[in-house]
């Protein structure tokens, strides 16, 4: 039956992301309680933490144990370079600990726990196995273990993103957003609070029972779903414990909210400000770390997400695949700046991406923005 296709994969992916989100929360609590040194820099100077490696190992192990290691191909962000350096013994030990702790809890989420504790080499192997490059043929899981690592270390927004592509098409998307409040206003509040005080961690301290959700969708279903991050007994009732979400119906630019990356280094804020102005947006942009921006569009908390990286930067498929499926099934539109759909079939990068990414709650806003890009490109300074 067509409707049942990928049902098992989706259910497993959602459960796996629940496990991963719980892992991230535990690591984030530790990060703030003992000021640990577990934030490292990768070769490109971007941050990476115990959580990034631990989630990648955990997801890798769980997918392999569920579907069989020979059936699982994973394209993911992290490799074992940083973590297998001689001076990374502490980091590796922390990762192995965290992975074992999480996998032991996996059976509470309806997944298989290992029979015995994993050793260093097994954990490294689980991380290393996620070295597929994807492409046009076959089935590949696409994983960003922690998206918005900067948000994660700041105690702000971050996401765990898992997607499934088959023959280059993104079919399933799951986004875990552990710090995304169930009420939209709090996203706004957190951001402004954060911004005004320039504090790097103050927005973390609030009631976590109100926070955290997982969004998921299957391509072509016309439905996107939201689950609160919930205690394990409720996960077992899945999928009963989920609600349908839908994009915003606002199509008047004056009422629309734009969200975009926090870091100027990741997106050209002045270019998007110019576009926003030319289509008649009035509100201040909402700057949010990670694929929570896609979640905000899918949930109807914002209408537009734009990202224009500096020229020369190649967008990675794990930063977008899950978000695109969810936004589209929730009724939104996602394309590059030329109006073409994102192409996940070219390996780990969005090779053919035309300039930037524009995701909207509907076609009216989307067409206006594409036209504005077309009109303003010549005068831009990207």
Ligand X SMILES: Nc1ncnc2c1ncn2[C@@H]1O[C@H](COP(=O)(O)OS(=O)(=O)O)[C@@H](OP(=O)(O)O)[C@H]1O
Q: Is 44 annotated as a binding residue?
A: no
The secondary structure of 121-160, three-state, reads HHHHHHHHCCECCCCCCCEEEEEEEEECHHHHHCCCCCEE
Q: How far is the CB of 4 from Mg ion (least distance, A)?
A: 31
What three-state secondary structure class fits 168? coil
Prior bond of 239 cis (ω within 30°) = yes
Q: Is 144 annotated as a binding residue?
A: yes
Q: Is 303 annotated as a binding residue?
A: no
Q: How far is CA 152 from CA 13, 83, 122, in A?
A: 21, 19, 26
> How do 47-49 and 258-260 pair as beta strands?
unpaired
Q: Is 77 in the site for ligand X (CB under 6 A)?
A: yes
Q: Is 162 in the site for Mg ion (CB under 5 A)?
A: no
Q: Is 319 in the site for ligand X (CB under 6 A)?
A: yes
Span 59-118, contacts to Mg ion by CB under 5 A: 77
> Which one is catalytic: 149, 257, 272, 335?
149
Structure tokens given for 319: 């930063």
Question: Going residue by residue from 113 to 152, which x/- string records binding to ligand X, judged by CB under 6 A?
Answer: -------------------------------x--xxxxx-
How far is it between the farthest Cα atoms of the chain?
61
Q: How far is the CB of 233 from Mg ion (least distance, A)?
A: 30
**Smaller CB distance to Mg ion: residue 160 or 279?**
160
Q: How far is the CB of 161 from ligand X (least distance, A)?
A: 8
State the number of CA atoms in the 13 A half-sphere of 209 facing the CB: 0
Q: How far is the CB of 206 from Mg ion (least distance, A)?
A: 24
Q: Is 319 annotated as a binding residue?
A: yes
Q: Which of 144, 156, 260, 336 binds Mg ion (CB under 5 A)?
A: 144
Contacts of 343 (CB under 8 A, 6+ apart): 168, 350, 351, 352, 353
Task: Reply yes or no on whether 52 is catalytic.
Answer: yes
Q: Is 319 in the site for Mg ion (CB under 5 A)?
A: yes
Piece in contact with ligand X (CB under 6 A), picked from 174-182, 273-281, 296-304, 308-316: 308-316
**Smaller CB distance to ligand X: residue 151 or 181?**
151
Q: Is 382 in the site for ligand X (CB under 6 A)?
A: no
Q: Nearest Cα to 216, choosing from 6, 2, 1?
A: 6
Q: Which of 81, 313, 374, 382 binds ligand X (CB under 6 A)?
A: 313
Distance between CA atoms of residues 144 and 160, nearest Å: 6
Q: Is 51 in the site for Mg ion (CB under 5 A)?
A: no
**Smaller CB distance to ligand X: residue 149 or 248?**
149
Q: Is 214 left (phi over 0), alpha (psi -120 to 50) or beta?
A: beta
Q: How far is the CB of 60 from Mg ion (least distance, A)?
A: 14
Q: Is 147 in the site for Mg ion (CB under 5 A)?
A: yes
Q: Which residue is nearest to Mg ion (CB)?
A: 147
Span 202-261, contacts to ligand X by CB under 6 A: 261
Q: Nearest Cα to 161, choosing from 321, 44, 43, 350?
A: 321
For residue 349, count other CB atoms closer than 10 A to its CB: 16
Residue 150 binds which of ligand X, Mg ion, none (CB < 5-8 A, kind-dependent): ligand X
CA geometry: angle at 162 spanning 171 and 126, to 5°? 125
Cα 237 versus chain centre, distance = 24
- DSSP class of residue 362 equals S
Q: Which residues are identified as catalytic?
A: 52, 149
Interface residues with ligand X (CB under 6 A) are 46, 77, 144, 147-151, 261-263, 265-266, 289-290, 309, 313, 316, 319
Which positions make up the binding site?
Answer: 77, 144, 147, 319
């Amino acid at each position: 039956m067509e409707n049942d296709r990928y049902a098992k994969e989706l259910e497993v992916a959602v459960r796996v992301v629940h496990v991963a989100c719980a892992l991230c929360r535990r690591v984030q609590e530790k990060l703030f309680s003992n000021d640990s040194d577990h934030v490292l820099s990768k070769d490109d100077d971007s941050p990476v933490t115990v959580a990034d490696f631990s989630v990648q190992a955990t997801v890798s192990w769980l997918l392999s144990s569920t579907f069989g290691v020979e059936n699982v191909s994973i394209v993911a962000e992290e490799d074992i370079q940083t973590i297998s350096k001689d001076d990374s013994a502490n980091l590796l030990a922390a990762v192995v600990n965290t992975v074992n702790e999480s996998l032991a809890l996996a059976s509470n989420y309806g997944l298989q726990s290992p029979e015995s504790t994993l050793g260093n080499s097994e954990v490294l192997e689980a991380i290393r196995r996620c070295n597929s490059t994807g492409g046009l043929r076959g089935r590949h899981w696409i994983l960003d273990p922690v998206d918005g690592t900067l948000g994660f270390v700041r105690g702000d927004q971050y996401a765990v993103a898992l997607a499934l592509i088959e023959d280059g098409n993104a079919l399933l998307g799951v986004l875990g957003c552990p710090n995304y409040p169930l009420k939209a206003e709090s996203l706004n509040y957190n951001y402004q609070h954060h911004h005004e005080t320039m504090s790097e961690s103050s927005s973390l301290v609030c009631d976590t029972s109100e926070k955290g959700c997982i969004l998921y969708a299957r391509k072509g279903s016309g439905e996107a779903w939201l689950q609160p991050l919930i205690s394990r007994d409720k996960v077992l009732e899945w999928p009963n414990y989920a609600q349908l979400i839908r994009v915003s119906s606002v199509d008047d630019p004056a009422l629309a909210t734009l969200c975009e990356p926090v870091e100027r280094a990741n997106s050209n804020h002045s270019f998007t400000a110019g576009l926003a102005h030319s289509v008649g947006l009035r509100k201040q942009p909402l700057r949010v770390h990670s694929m929570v921006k896609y979640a905000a569009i899918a949930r109807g908390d914002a209408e537009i997400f734009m990202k224009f990286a500096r020229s020369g930067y190649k967008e990675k498929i794990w930063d977008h695949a899950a978000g695109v499926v969810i936004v589209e099934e929730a009724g939104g539109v996602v394309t590059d700046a030329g109006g073409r759909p994102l192409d996940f079939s070219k390996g780990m990068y969005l090779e053919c991406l035309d300039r930037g990414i524009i995701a909207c709650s509907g076609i009216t806003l989307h067409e206006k923005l594409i036209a504005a890009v077309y009109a303003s490109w010549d005068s831009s300074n990207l």
